[in-house]
Structure 1
Amino acid sequence: MILKLGSPEEVGMSSERIKHLEDLVSSWVDQQVSQAFEFVVARRGVIVSHKAVGYHTPELNLPLVKNTIFPLASLTKPITAAAAMILVEEGALSLNFPVVQYIPQFTGKDKEKVLIHQLMTHTSGLKDEDVYAHSKQKQKSTDIPPAEITQDFDVHSKLFLGYDAPLSNPPGTVMSYCNYGVELLGEIVRIVSGTSLDVFTRQKIFDPLGMNDTHLIVPESMHDRVIRRSEEISGGKWFSSREALQRASAAGGAYSTVSDMVIFGQMLLNRGKYGDVRVLSPLSVIEMTRNQIPGVSSSYGQEHFAEATYGYCWPVNGNKKDSGDLFSKHAYSCGGAGGVIMAIDPVYETVQVIFSITETPNDGNQIWFPSRFLFNNVVLAAIEE
């Protein structure tokens, strides 16, 4: 199934409700919830809405145009997981192998018990804040060796300083969202594949799918297409800086468009195939998007989930309802800091992608999370059959 443009009625959705969705998102720009929103909604292979509203560069009052490039931040993680699954299918990697088998420097008490699949479910026992504190303490007294030609130096430095950080929990007992763990996964992909993560994802995922605007290292010719955040926002310049655009982080370094990411989502909904191109086997997609850690709890911010319900770098809905109220329990979604999210519901056959920029604080919390809920609810409410 290849995506095509069509009317909501072709796929059992309401044009009136889709129009309401488009007006609602436009109103969020008027309310200064965010400087910009771009979104795509697809069901059963038909794109029923694709809109871009707001501003590409607020200081210059430049309007947003379709297929602006946004930072994916943590939405990079499912791409890295897909890269690992490709190596599994090729017989080059097993998720049940210990991390230390590929990274001997990964040392410390019980570190030999940390398995590769636990990096993808955030159950390795590592916590970002503890790894950061450990790394910061070492930084001034440790000489960092040169990076290999296939390594990003900043990522290499971060990994090297944290290799001997202690575990915060026994492996497999608690889910604690951990960027460092996914950076380790990206390093394993690099080591096993023998090439950089940027090149591997380009060759195995982006090029075959025609995701020509998706990059871990953004070409200079595309820098002007990357959205510019308002300088008034904390860290507003970071994601469009040359440093960020060249940093191939497995946990949060990719850049893309809604049009490219809806293709990636449709490929997963198609059980690993898009048109004549198969990127993943059906079984890999099943394993990536089912709950891999039954009985394991998690906390995120002020929320606590008795059942974390997590796949391989994919939060699975289950009974959490942490991305919307109307998703089936089999839906899975992933967001990224700053306001990007993609959600896929195999029961209702939907792929929905909405990209925005860090939004106005609301009582100390960013309003992005409520707008994500509202967007997803209105999309699913447009389904009539």
Structure 2
Amino acid sequence: MNYSMLREGTPEQAGMRPERINVLQNRVKEWVEEGATPAAAMLVARKGVIVTHNGYGPLTPDVGAPLLEKDSLFPLASLTKPLTATCIMILVEDGKLDLFDPVNRFIPEFTGDGKAAINLHHLLTHTSGLRQEDVYEFVKKQEQKGVLVPELEPTSHPNEHTFFYLSYGAPLWKPPGTEMRYLGYGYKLLGEIVRRVSGQPLHQFAAERIFAPLGMKDTFYIVPEALFGRAVRRDESLAGGRWLGSPEALRDPSASGGAYSTVMDMAIFGQMFLNGGRYGNARILSPITVREMVKNQIPGVPATSNGSVFREASWGYGWNVRSMKQDDSGCLRSAHAYDHGGAGGVRLLIEPEYDLLWAYFPIVTDKLYTRNLFHNMVVSCIDD
């Protein structure tokens, strides 16, 4: 097993064609210059060798804004979910929980008809039978009723505390395990379980057990105020423009979508998975746990997403597993590829078959969808 740490090198050392790497870099630069994306950061690595690591465009839409730097902080949005899933799996390895434990073992307030059957596996794979819209409608009704919320606990965050206590009684949409329905709320619940089981807020647990050991010095669930000036912001007219990068978002430790990071830090996280749970001298997960996280854990379970029907949803623990389905990350992926993206454009993709990973953080607009094009160009660089 290769436990290598990422290092700068040449395309030839990585078994990639330098002329194709140039095409890739120039194309991303063109997308920024033409306005397909206002700004973009990228890192591609193969065999542990970083072959390109660049940023293009301004940090914010403000007049005279500084240029994007390699260490600029991007909102991960839903790319936060693999981080949260890793926290859960660390607790599994610690003997603190099992993925088939019911949610209400850890959150007794999580009640309702049929909900005793929902377990952590269902939350991780988006097969709980809950729907996001039903949860938020239930919370709204609870607010209108003036339901009293218990006092804030020392390890709770005020952004999460009230919402959780108003949401726990939300009704089921379908029996657990019958259909995948992408659910950010499920990962919020996982973050709350990390807090209750470990005795630490999620952001502290992740910092101690993942970020610090891996040297992910620029990854945060709550961004320190001194670093706010390094955060990417988008025009308010774009998707998420009023929230992503705002001071409120930078302070929001959502287990579903609150983290901020750089392409380098997320590439380190991806390399840890490629290495079977280890990076340098740091062992985060066992190889067996990694294998379970990145394989299809819901065979035969269908999904509907953005108007597309998938007979086989193919989802792991925190990761979208390619299998044979087509979605939005390029047509040249292998069946063993796994990835996750986030609202606004960010994505981390890992190709164990090719010992390859990339972190591509553009700002999505309605002019051109570039993520699939980016992946196809990346794999076209491979020369062995």
TM above 0.5, yes or no, is: yes
Q: Does 1:170 align with 2:175?
A: yes
1:336 corresponding residue in structure 2: 342
Partners of 2:352 and 2:119 in 1: how far apart? 29
The SS at the match of 1:361 is coil
Q: Does 1:72 align with 2:80?
A: no
Equivalent residue letter for 1:51: N
Partners of 1:217 and 1:235 in 2: how far apart? 18
Partners of 2:116 and 2:156 in 1: how far apart? 24
User: What is the CA deviation profile of residues 96-150 of structure 1, one whole-angstrom value per residue up to 9, with x for unaligned ones?
Assistant: 1000101111101111100111100000111101111111111122122222121
User: What is the CA deviation profile of residues 208-232 of structure 1, one whole-angstrom value per residue up to 9, with x for unaligned ones?
Assistant: 0000100001001111000121233
Please, which of 64, 88, 97 is the counterpart of residue 92 of structure 2? 88
Equivalent residue letter for 1:381: S
The SS at the match of 1:380 is helix
Q: Does 1:295 align with 2:300?
A: yes
Offset of 1:61 from its aligned partner?
Answer: 3.2
Offset of 1:233 from its aligned partner?
Answer: 2.9
1:379 corresponding residue in structure 2: 378
Cα pair 1:124 1:172 within 8 Å, conserved: yes
Offset of 1:234 from its aligned partner?
Answer: 5.1
1:281 corresponding residue in structure 2: 286
The change in CA–CA distance for 1:192 and 1:207 in structure 2 (over 3 A counts) is same
Cα pair 1:289 1:312 within 8 Å, conserved: yes
Cα pair 1:123 1:174 within 8 Å, conserved: yes
The SS at the match of 1:109 is coil
Partners of 1:123 and 1:51 in 2: how far apart? 37
Partners of 1:232 and 1:126 in 2: how far apart? 30
| Structure 1 segments of 4+ aligned residues over 4 angstroms from their partners | none
The SS at the match of 2:58 is strand
Q: Percent identity?
A: 49
Please, which of 64, 75, 81 is the counterpart of residue 61 of structure 1? 64
2:263 corresponding residue in structure 1: 258
Cα pair 1:159 1:180 within 8 Å, conserved: no
Show the 5 A alignment for 1:104-123: 104-123=108-127
1:15 corresponding residue in structure 2: 18
TM-score by length of 2: 0.96
Partners of 1:162 and 1:371 in 2: how far apart? 36
1:126 corresponding residue in structure 2: 130
Offset of 1:327 from its aligned partner?
Answer: 1.2
Equivalent residue letter for 1:122: H
Equivalent residue letter for 1:21: L
The change in CA–CA distance for 1:23 and 1:270 in structure 2 (over 3 A counts) is same
Please, which of 320, 333, 340 is the counterpart of residue 327 of structure 1? 333
1:52 corresponding residue in structure 2: 55
Cα pair 1:321 1:327 within 8 Å, conserved: no
Partners of 1:192 and 1:131 in 2: how far apart? 24
Structure 2 alignment gaps of length 5 or more: none
The SS at the match of 2:370 is helix
Q: Does 1:313 align with 2:312?
A: no
After superposing the two structures, state which structure 1 stretch, 157-166 or 76-85, moved more: 157-166
Cα pair 1:6 1:48 within 8 Å, conserved: yes
Q: Does 1:186 align with 2:191?
A: yes
The SS at the match of 1:238 is coil
| Length, aligned pairs only | 378
2:156 corresponding residue in structure 1: 151
Please, which of 91, 103, 106 is the counterpart of residue 99 of structure 1? 103
Equivalent residue letter for 1:333: D
After superposing the two structures, state which structure 1 stretch, 136-145 or 179-188, moved more: 136-145
Partners of 1:235 and 1:78 in 2: how far apart? 20
Structure 1 alignment gaps of length 5 or more: none
Cα pair 2:339 2:348 within 8 Å, conserved: yes
1:206 corresponding residue in structure 2: 211
Cα pair 2:36 2:365 within 8 Å, conserved: yes
The SS at the match of 1:304 is strand
Equivalent residue letter for 1:56: L
What is the alpha-carbon root mean square deviation over aligned residues?
Answer: 1.1
2:359 corresponding residue in structure 1: 353
After superposing the two structures, state which structure 1 stretch, 7-16 or 135-144, moved more: 135-144
